[in-house]
Amino acid sequence: MQFIKPDINIDFLGKKKIAFIFSAVMILVSVASLLYHGGPKFGIDFAGGTVVQIKFDSPVSISDIKDGLRSMGLEGVTVQTFGEKDDHEYLIRIDRAVTTSEAFSGEIQKALKSSISQEADIRRVEMVGPQVGKDLREKALFAIFYSLLFIAIYISGRFELKWLLSGVMAGVLIGAVYLLDLIEVSIPVLIVAAMIVTLVLFWVLNLKYAMGAIVALVHDVMITVGLFSLFDKEFSLPIIAAILTIIGYSLNDTIIIFDRIRENLRKYRKHTLEFIINRSVNETLSRTILTALTTLIVVLALFLFGGGIIHDFAFALLVGVIVGTYSSIYIASPFLLTFQVGPKKR
């Protein structure tokens, strides 16, 4: 199906400076928000603690819920509404791991009934120890880093036939990260440093396709994380799954355009690289928009009707699909031009 004329010729690269400025502003806002909030707001999966989901038959005051929990000796808890307003559901977060059992649930019900005069329905109780939360947080960072690194190997091998060079580079980076992890270097600092070194090596070794793809993926992840920070949403294991899904979706779009660029490099030998990239993006535009729209319909349905449990997961996918489509056109492809020295150099 093609609803865009095949001879369309939009000058995408003519707007690359505007796109780069827009992306830079978005990333700076994301970083500023993360610095202001002291990093991402980790959920129970990563921060450790206890979460209790309760439901009432009618609306209750959050302060009354806190008063009831205070009578149990639970101080410093946070309470927020959950799901739709008419559901009368609330999430209670306790900043320490509490031994959960049927007796604990019964104590909560009893304490809340005494302060609210309403029976509380305990929907779920989850507990994660602080050490487990720390381990999960570190593994999540490694999952994102290694996924980007292996993607770089694939892109370099497929488009530039540099399997050995990219494989050796990846092996050295993985070994360095592993050794530094053994001597207990801060994991977030380690991952950021490794990503910077990776991009520098791509530049020095002239792995232009891999660098364009990785820059676009880092761009997508940074903006998604930044929006979560701006809207004060929590990071949990489902959100990491959403980020990895975003990486895969955005990469798929980028590879389609890169494939067309490679084909057109042979087809339009006498034209400049700027012309070839513009031509390639226009030729794949119909497929890019159709893929994005069909995916957005599904994700939007999840976001609107999926319920509170997967609301944040759907929000991450919604942001990722939009930003990933944008970055494939305005970030990954134009980034190839940064490697052009002469007007017709490939």
The size of the chain, in residues, is 346
pLDDT band at 343 (very low <50, low <70, confident <90, very high): very low
User: What average pLDDT score do residues 14-38 get?
Assistant: 89
Q: Is residue 234 part of a domain?
A: yes
CB under 8 Å to 156, separation ≥6 — which residues?
A: 162, 163, 165, 166, 207, 209, 210
Q: Measured between alpha carbons, how far is 246 from 223 in angstroms, rounded to an integer?
A: 12
Instruction: List pLDDT tens digits, range 227-269.
Output: 998 988 888 888 888 998 998 888 888 888 888 888 888 888 8
The answer to whether residues 332 and 216 touch, using CB atoms and an 8 Å cutoff, is yes
Q: Measured between alpha carbons, how far is 31 from 16 in angstroms, rounded to an integer?
A: 22
Q: Is residue 310 part of a domain?
A: yes
Q: Measured between alpha carbons, how far is 212 from 28 in angstroms, rounded to an integer?
A: 20
pLDDT band at 342 (very low <50, low <70, confident <90, very high): very low
One domain, residues 61 and 115: yes
Out of 128, 152, 172, pick the residue that ends a domain.
128
Instruction: List pLDDT tens digits, range 138-164.
Output: 888 888 888 888 888 888 888 878 888
Q: Is residue 8 part of a domain?
A: no
Out of 84, 101, 128, pick the residue that ends a domain.
128
Q: What is the DSSP letter of 339?
A: G
pLDDT band at 6 (very low <50, low <70, confident <90, very high): low
The pLDDT value given to residue 99: 60
Q: Is residue 38 part of a domain?
A: yes
Instruction: List pLDDT tens digits, range 197-230.
Output: 888 888 888 888 888 888 888 899 999 999 998 9
The answer to whether residues 338 and 277 touch, using CB atoms and an 8 Å cutoff, is no
Residue 339 pLDDT exceeds 70: no
Furthest C-alpha separation in the chain:
82
CATH code of 67's domain: 3.30.70.3400
Structurally, the chain folds into a number of domains equal to 2
CATH code of 154's domain: 1.20.1640.10
The pLDDT value given to residue 346: 45
Domain residues for the domain of 138 are 13-43+132-339
Residue 344 pLDDT exceeds 50: no
One domain, residues 57 and 140: no
One domain, residues 140 and 260: yes
One domain, residues 188 and 303: yes
One domain, residues 26 and 161: yes
The pLDDT value given to residue 173: 81
One domain, residues 108 and 167: no
pLDDT band at 98 (very low <50, low <70, confident <90, very high): low
One domain, residues 38 and 57: no
One domain, residues 91 and 174: no
Q: Measured between alpha carbons, how far is 326 from 250 in angstroms, rounded to an integer?
A: 9
